Amino acid sequence: MANAKEITRLLLKQYPDPIIELKFNNPLELLVATILSAQCTDVRVNTVTESLFKNYKTAQSYAKAKLSTFEQEIRPTGFYKNKAKMIIKCCDQIAMDFNGKVPGTIEELTSLAGVGRKTANVILGSAFGKQVMAVDTHVLRVSNRLGLVDSKNPDKIEEALVSQLPGKKLTHINLALILHGRQTCKARKPHCPDCVLHSECEWQDKVAA
């Protein structure tokens, strides 16, 4: 059985002040950036949003965007046609149903176009300061390798991690797990010998230290 307490201690010692790598100034910007980040690197998203956020300041401005123009503005992030439609529809919902303000509950956020539970938790954790666990590919991979979970279902993984990890540090742990997955516990070539969690890892294919 994985030692969640020790894993938390070691993880937060390695990443004492983890932050999301997407750049944003408010919940709306983070929402747009998170939708754009699907199948795209945060670095590329940040490059695109640097100019995008200057052109669109409110949910209403996104909702009124010309689709063909908006598609070209976000094209470098990939899957731009789908993302453009989702962002415009999502922001139209925010403008119409939430008085132009990004809502602050999981139920309200997941009612928006293009917003699943992971995206909603990203917003809640990094824009609203709530303690949540957003399960992306990195969290899924790292938590399974560590033995904290044994599932490929994001909802079940979220539930299992929330039940094991300290509630007051959930978002910090979440961001640390993501950073660890990106920097050390990579999908194809994990840096097991350099991993601070090597002694706690139950992954049978880990490389010996």
Same domain (yes/no): 122, 38: yes
Contacts of 135 (CB under 8 A, 6+ apart): 117, 118, 121, 154, 155, 157, 158, 161
pLDDT of residue 34: 98
Same domain (yes/no): 46, 121: yes
The single-letter code of the amino acid at 32 is V
Among candidate residues 126, 149, 181, the one where a domain is terminated: 126
Whether 78 is in a domain gets the answer yes
Catalytic residue, candidates 136, 150, 186, 194: 136
pLDDT digits (tens, 9 = 90+) for 39-64: 999 999 999 999 999 999 999 999 99
pLDDT digits (tens, 9 = 90+) for 110-147: 999 999 999 999 999 999 999 999 999 999 999 999 99
Whether 205 is in a domain gets the answer no
Give the pair of three-digit tokens for residue 161. 């991690």
Same domain (yes/no): 74, 37: yes
Average pLDDT, the chain: 97
Give the pair of three-digit tokens for residue 145. 């390798």
Same domain (yes/no): 120, 33: yes
Whether 41 is in a domain gets the answer yes
Residue 99, CA atoms < 13 Å, CB-side half-sphere: 1
Q: Residue 116's domain spans which residues?
A: 27-126
* Catalytic-residue membership of 118: yes
Same domain (yes/no): 188, 138: yes
Question: How many domains does the structure of the chain reveal?
Answer: 2
Same domain (yes/no): 9, 35: no
Whether 209 is in a domain gets the answer no
71: CATH = 1.10.340.30
Same domain (yes/no): 100, 137: no
Whether 179 is in a domain gets the answer yes
Can you tell me which residue has the tokens 């350099």? 194
Catalytic residue, candidates 57, 118, 130, 169: 118
pLDDT digits (tens, 9 = 90+) for 162-191: 999 999 999 999 999 999 999 999 999 999
Residue 160 has pLDDT above 90, yes or no: yes
Same domain (yes/no): 142, 76: no
Whether 208 is in a domain gets the answer no
pLDDT digits (tens, 9 = 90+) for 8-36: 999 999 999 999 999 999 999 999 999 99
2: confidence class by pLDDT, cuts 50, 70, 90? confident
* Catalytic-residue membership of 205: no
Q: With pLDDT > 70 as the criterion, what percentage of the chain qualifies? A: 100
CA pair distance 149, 43, nearest whole angstrom: 29
